[in-house]
Amino acid sequence: MTTNFATQVTLPKSSRAPGLHVALIPDGNGRWATSRGLARAVGHRRGVRPVREAAEAAPSLGISTLSVYGFSSDNWKRPEPEVREILGCIREFVASERARCVRDGVRLTVIGRRDRLPRDLVAAIEETERATARCAALHLRLAVDYSARGEIVAAARRSAAPPDARAFDGLLGADLGGRSPDVDLLVRTGGEQRLSDFMLWECAYAELVFLDVPWPDFRRAHLGAAVDDFRLRERRFGGLPRGAASPAT
Ligand code: IPE
Ligand code: IPE
Ligand code: MG
User: Would you say the C-alpha torsion 175, 176, 179, 182 has a positive or negative sign?
Assistant: negative
Q: Which residues are placed with Cβ below 5 angstroms of ligand 3, an ion?
A: 27
Region for 117 from its dihedrals, namely left if φ exceeds 0, alpha if ψ lies in -120 to 50, beta otherwise: beta
Query: One of 4, 75, 104, 145 is an active-site residue; which one?
Result: 75
Among protein residues, the one with the nearest Cα to ligand 2's atom 9 is: 75
Q: What is the pLDDT of residue 163?
A: 65
Arithmetic mean of pLDDT, 7-36: 76
pLDDT tens-digit map of 186-222 = 999 999 999 999 999 999 999 999 999 999 999 999 9
Are 149 and 198 in contact by the 8 Å Cβ rule? The answer is no
First to last CA, the chain: 11
- pLDDT category at 134 given cuts 50, 70, 90 is very high
Please, what is the average pLDDT of the chain?
A: 91
189 in contact with ligand 1, CB cutoff 6 A: no
Is 29 assigned a catalytic role?
no
CATH tag for 25-232 (out of 3.40.190.10, 3.20.20.70, 3.40.1180.10, 3.40.430.10): 3.40.1180.10
28 in contact with ligand 1, CB cutoff 6 A: yes
Query: One of 4, 27, 145, 182 is an active-site residue; which one?
Result: 27
Q: Does 177 have pLDDT greater than 90?
A: no
Q: What is the pLDDT of residue 81?
A: 98
Q: Does 165 have pLDDT greater than 90?
A: no
- Give the E-state strand segments of 47-176 in sequence order: 63-72, 106-111, 138-146
Arithmetic mean of pLDDT, 15-27: 84
pLDDT tens-digit map of 221-233 = 999 999 999 999 9
Is 75 assigned a catalytic role?
yes
Q: What is the pLDDT of residue 198?
A: 98
Among protein residues, the one with the nearest Cα to ligand 2's atom 14 is: 196
- pLDDT category at 7 given cuts 50, 70, 90 is very low
- The bound ligand whose nearest atom lies closest to the alpha carbon of 199 is 2
75 in contact with ligand 1, CB cutoff 6 A: yes
pLDDT tens-digit map of 68-124 = 999 999 999 999 999 999 999 999 999 999 999 999 999 999 999 999 999 999 999
Rounded to the nearest 5 percent, the helix, strand and coil shares of the chain are 45, 15, 35
Are 181 and 217 in contact by the 8 Å Cβ rule? The answer is no
Domain chopping of the chain, boundaries: 25-232
Q: What is the pLDDT of residue 246?
A: 66
Q: Within its chain, how far is the Cα of 212 from the centroid?
A: 19
